[in-house]
Structure formats: structure tokens, C-alpha cells
Amino acid sequence: MAARTGKQFIEGLKDDREIWLGNERVKDVTTHPVLSGSVRGMAGYFDWQHTYADDCLVPDPVTGEPMNASLIVPRNAEDLEKRHRAFERFARYSCGMLGRTPDYVNVTLAGFVARKDIFTAKGDTTSYDRLHAFYREVVEKDLSMTHTIIQPAIDKSIGELMGLNGDIALKAVGRTDEGVIVRGAKILATLGPFADEIFVYPAGPLPPGSPVEHALMFSIPVKTKGVIQVCRDHYGTTASQADQSFSSRFDEQDTYVIFDDVLVPHERMFIDCDLDAYNNLRAAGWAANVFQQTSTRAAVKLEFAYDLCTKMAKIMNVEKKPDVAMRLGELWSYSQLTRAATRAAMIDARDWGSGAFFCDDRPLRAVRAQMPGWMARMSELVKSIGAHNLLATPSLEAFNNPAMQPLLDKYMPSANGKDAEERARIFRLAWDFVGSALGARVDLYEHFYLASQPTNFIREHMQTLAEGGFGVLDEYLAQQG
Ligand SMILES: Cc1cc2nc3c(=O)[nH]c(=O)nc-3n(C[C@H](O)[C@H](O)[C@H](O)COP(=O)(O)OP(=O)(O)OC[C@H]3O[C@@H](n4cnc5c(N)ncnc54)[C@H](O)[C@@H]3O)c2cc1C
């Protein structure tokens, strides 16, 4: 089965996965009253790839069947261009509100597959063969993957694998003929309850001297015995799509994952207690590969925010008022800087080794480091432009009520000649975007999903320091004689 439909995606979720929501073990995520709206939203993504097949699907080079373009193993500029079109189209499905549509982890996996050299550095191809076989399974079954890669550092005063942190962190604790037994936790797994596979791979290098048992990379079905997912409160609602366009469909959920003595079959273990492979993988172009997807989503989301804010301003007749125009221009600049960085990164793409053709990572890393700040500012701008109007928003169902409708039409119209219903629709959408419970969660997501802003700034400076800076100062000083 190649590129699935929404219906096929939903069928795939009907199993005995262990998902806890509050104190309830969810029997079936697809029919659960609180979660089913999210299932519908994610099913829509799978239908979307067929609706926009020209952008989202490419022929699988092995079978010729349609395949999600995010699974292309990138070998040249044309591959990057094709998958860029898919990222763009997928981001437009939710206007960037869904951070973890399956193309995110697909592109990660395809990037790892492109770096065969890292897995075969010691002359053994077993790990790579397993990874490649898994990749083929993802392509042919169009599986949806979550990833969970961060150690649950509970005590932030010590290292991520020290003391209590090390006790809780995921590690190999035993072996059988069938595979490796793993125990411990990881944070978080966005999309976890709605994924087919849970993919664990290196988040960053482990400190020198770390126990090798933590150096793991594998993927297993979400339904595997012992994989326990603890949900946060769900912010998806049962409201109509018209009233809460995002919250009714796009809460992708974030779970805390416990691996309670889980058997990982050998054929699904890609890095088995190998510190070198673990520590080298991320430096082998991970950011250059994945940030093409994340920056494309960010650009779409920022452009959506610009359009939304401009529409709100027009409804109030203030789109040319200097203080509002200044804020709209600020928002525009974030969106276009993100676009420009993505395009520049694609233009300067190169072979990173082993024929892996990834973007130039520098513009993408720069944008990534800024993005938590830009997204926070975006939320602030939506709120400052929308102001009280974000709450003066009758339900769209109220317009069907003969007693309410004339009142709403008379007292809550737009300033620009559009009707009251249009006004309510736009301001409701804006509130759902940044002010609802889901909006607050998405704000947190943007702050942390690719590490916090301080972590990014520090990392980029340290890398540039190690590379010797830009050389501009030395060149100038040399001119002075
Ligand atoms: C909604 C959401 C979804 C997520 N989904 C996933 C997922 O699907 N898979 C996954 O593996 N992980 C996921 N994560 C986890 C994410 O990877 C971590 O949150 C991330 O690694 C940051 O770690 P942290 O939360 O401990 O924050 P930290 O980076 O420790 O930051 C905590 C605070 O300390 C500040 N700070 C950090 N370092 C410094 C410094 N050096 N100097 C000054 N201040 C500093 C930060 O600004 C912040 O205020 C998700 C997180 C969120 C919030």
C-alpha cells in the first residue's frame, strides 16, 4: 500500500496501543470523544496528499507507486526542489499549526538513509541494512512516525545522564535472541497517540565517558508491548470546524513516553550501544536536511499570520494607520527572511558525504535560532492588533438563531462593509491561532521543539568559534600592514 488515504490512516490506528489520558487508558484513539477530532485532522493530511498529488507525491523509485515526497532520499537539487513543494503544500493544510505532520520525521529518516557512510564506518553494513529495510517499510506502508529523542533531565542541576537523570533515561538493559530490551523514558512524543511508529535517534552527542547503553537508535510500532504514552491534557475540542478551526482538528498531542522493558527486535535496532555512530550522526547534516522542512512550515505560518493580521486590520479599517502598518511590516519581514533563508539554503546545497545532497545549513541554522523569538513576537502582534475584538466574537452558530442574528448584524458589523459573520469568523480564527488552549500549547512548541533559543544561540556561536569565525577582521588587519 503506497501513499495512504485518511481512511486507511485511521484503520491503522486501531490497535491496543497504551495511551493514558488523565487516569483513563484510552481503548481506541479513533473513537475516543476527546481525541477523535485530532484523528480526523490528521486523516485530512493523508487525504490532502492525494488532493494535491502533483505537489505531495512522487513515484517510489523502487515500485513506481505514489510515495510521499518527503521520503525522497535527496541526491540532487531537483530532489530538494520537489520535496520543498511538498513541505509547502503540507504546511498549508494547517497553516503551520501542525508542527509534526508526518513529513517532519519522514525527512529525518530519509536524511539518515542518505548517510550510509556513518552507519558503515566500521566496515559492517548490518545497521544500515536494517535502517534501509525500515525505510522501505515506511515508504511502502506510508507509515506515520513520531520521534522521541530528548533525555528526561529531571534534575537540571546535573548532567543529562547523571544521578537520577541517568536512572530514568532510556537505555539497553538486556538481550534475548530476538532483540534488545530497553527501559526508561524520553520527552516528548508529539503525534505519539496518532503515529504508527515511535522513532528514537540521537538528539545530540552524549558527553565523553557516557555509558554506551544509552547510545541507541531504533524504531518500533507504537503498539509494542511496554510502550506507555502519558498524554498531557488534550486541547482539541468538540466545537465545530467553523467555530474553532484549529482546535477542532489540529491538537497533535504531546506525550511523555515510558519504555517499560520493551523488546526492540534486532532488525529494528539501528545503533546498538555504539557511541561513535550515535555521536556522529547529528553532525552529518541533520540540521541541513531537516531544517528545510521546519523553515518552510515556519514561512507558511508567518505568511498566514501576516494575512490574518491584515484582514483583522481591514475589518477595523486601520490597515494603513501607521502604528498598525508598522506592526504588519514587522511581521512581513519575519516571513520573508524565513523564505529567503530557505531559498538561499537550497541554492547553496551540496553533497554532505555519501551522496547525501542537503541544504547549506548556515541560513537555516540562523533562522532556527531566531525563530522562537519571531514566533513569540508573532503571537504578540496578533494579540496587539486584534485586541478586545479577539473576544467579542459570537459563535458562528449564533448567526443561525433568528433572535440573535439581527442583533449581531446590527451591533457587531465590520468597519469595511463586510458583514458581522465575516468579522466573527476572522477574529475567532485569530483567537484560536494564538489565544486558545491549543494556541498556548503551539506557542510553547515553537519555543522548544528544536531546543530553546539560548541553546541555539550558544550552539551556533560555539560552532562558529570552532571554525575560526568569518575571517573578515583578519583580512582587514592584514591590509593595515
Ligand atoms: C510542545 C512540545 C513538543 C515537543 N515535542 C517533542 C517531540 O516530539 N520529540 C522530542 O524528542 N522532544 C519534543 N519536545 C521536547 C523538546 O525537545 C525539549 O523541550 C527541548 O529539547 C528543550 O528542552 P527543555 O524543555 O528541557 O528546555 P531547556 O532547553 O532546558 O530550556 C529551559 C529554560 O532554560 C533556558 N535556557 C536553556 N539553556 C540556557 C542557557 N544556556 N542560558 C540561559 N538560559 C537557558 C531556556 O530559554 C528556557 O527558558 C517537545 C517540547 C514541547 C514543549
Residue of minimum CA distance from atom 17 in ligand 1: 449
Ordered by start, the domain boundaries in the chain are 6-282, 285-470
Q: Is the CB of 440 under 6 A from ligand 1?
A: no
For position 417, what pLDDT does the model report?
83
C-beta 149 within 6 A of ligand 1: yes
Q: In ligand 1, which atom is closest to the CA atom of 455? A: 38
Under 8 Å CB-to-CB from 346, ≥6 apart: which residues?
77, 80, 81, 84, 292, 359
To test the pocket of ligand 1, the residue of 108, 160, 188 to mutate (highest count of ligand atoms within 8 Å of its CB) is 188
Q: Which CATH number does the domain 6-282 belong to among 3.30.830.10, 2.40.110.10, 3.90.320.10, 3.90.1150.10?
A: 2.40.110.10
Distance from the Cα of residue 170 to its chain's centroid: 22
Q: How far is the CA of 188 from the centre of ligand 1 (A)?
A: 10
User: How many whole angstroms separate alpha carbon 88 and alpha carbon 56?
Assistant: 9
The residue whose CA is least distant from atom 28 of ligand 1 is: 452
- Looking at the predicted structure, is the pLDDT value of residue 1 above 70? no
Residue with CA closest to ligand 1 atom 2: 445
- Specify which residues 186 forms β-bridges with: 257
Please tell me the residue having the least CA distance from ligand 1 atom 25.
Answer: 448
Ligand 1 atom closest to 203 (CA): 11
CA of 454 to the centre of ligand 1 (A): 10
Would the pTM of this model clear 0.95, i.e. be above it?
A: yes
In the reported structure, the alpha carbon of residue 244 is separated from the centroid of ligand 1 by a whole-number distance in angstroms of: 28
Give 21's pLDDT tier (boundaries 50, 70, 90): very high
Q: Residue 71 in contact with residue 140, Cβ under 8 Å?
A: no
The pLDDT of 14-32, averaged and rounded, is 98
Q: Per-residue b/e over 43-69, b at no fewer than 16 CB within 10 Å?
A: bbbbbbbeebeebbbbebeeeeebbbb
253 lines ligand 1 (CB under 6 A): no
Q: Which of 180, 184, 114, 118 is nearest to 150 (CA)?
A: 184
Ligand 1, from 97, 98, 452, 460: best to mutate by most atoms within 8 Å of Cβ?
452
Task: Calculate what percentage of the chain has a pLDDT beyond 70.
Answer: 100
Q: Which of 50-54, 160-164, 306-310 has the least mean pLDDT?
A: 160-164
* Architecture per CATH, 285-470: Up-down Bundle (1.20)
**Contact 190 CB / ligand 1 (< 6 Å):** yes
Query: Model confidence over 88-101: pLDDT tens digits?
Result: 999 999 999 999 99
Measured by CA distance, the residue closest to atom 44 of ligand 1 is 454
Residue 408 confidence (pLDDT): 97
User: 444 CA distance to ligand 1 centroid (A)?
Assistant: 9
**Model ipTM over 0.90:** yes
CB–CB of 113/131 below 8 Å? Answer: yes
**Mean pLDDT of the region 140-151:** 97
Q: Measured at the alpha carbon of residue 284, what is the angle toward residues 278 and 285, in degrees to the nearest 5?
A: 130
Q: Please tell me the distance between residue 147's alpha carbon and the centre of ligand 1 in angstroms.
A: 15
What SS3 string covers the chain?
CCCCCHHHHHHHCCCCCEEEECCEECCCCCCCCCCHHHHHHHHHHHHHHHHCHHHHEEECCCCCCEEEHHHCCCCCHHHHHHHHHHHHHHHHHHCCCCCCCCHHHHHHHHHHHHCHHHHCCCCCCHHHHHHHHHHHHHHHHCCCEEECCECCCCCCCCCCCCHHHHHHECEEEEECCCEEEEEEEEEEEECHHHCCEEEECCCCCCCCCCCHHHCEEEEEECCCCCEEEEECCCCCCCCCCCCCCCCCCCCCCEEEEEEEEEEEEHHHEEEECCHHHHHHHHHHCHHHHHHHHHHHHHHHHHHHHHHHHHHHHHHCCCCCCHHHHHHHHHHHHHHHHHHHHHHHHHHCCEECCCCCEECCHHHHHHHHHHHHHHHHHHHHHHHHHHHHHHCCCCCHHHHHCCCCHHHHHHHCCCCCCCCHHHHHHHHHHHHHHHCCHHHHHHHHHHHHCCCCHHHHHHHHHHHHHHHCCCCHHHHHHHHCC
pLDDT, tens only, 376-423: 999 999 999 999 999 999 999 999 999 999 999 999 999 988 899 999
Let me know if the fold of 6-282 is the same as that of 285-470. Answer: no
Mean pLDDT in residue range 430-447 = 98
Question: What does pLDDT average to over the chain?
Answer: 97
pLDDT of residue 70: 98
d(CA 183, CA 216): 11
Ligand 1 center–CA 310 separation, angstroms: 32
pLDDT at 252 over 90: yes
Which residue's alpha carbon is at the smallest distance from atom 45 of ligand 1? Answer: 454
pLDDT tens for each residue of 363-378: 999 999 999 999 999 9
What is the pLDDT confidence band of residue 17, given thresholds at 50, 70 and 90?
very high
- Would you say the CB of residue 454 lies under 6 angstroms from ligand 1? yes
The alpha carbons of the chain give a radius of gyration, in whole angstroms, of 24
Average of per-residue pLDDT across 320-345: 98
Q: Is 457 in the pocket of ligand 1 (CB under 6 A)?
A: no
Q: What is the pLDDT of residue 209?
A: 86
Contact between 189 and 146 (Cβ < 8 Å): yes
Distance 372 CA to ligand 1 centre (A): 11
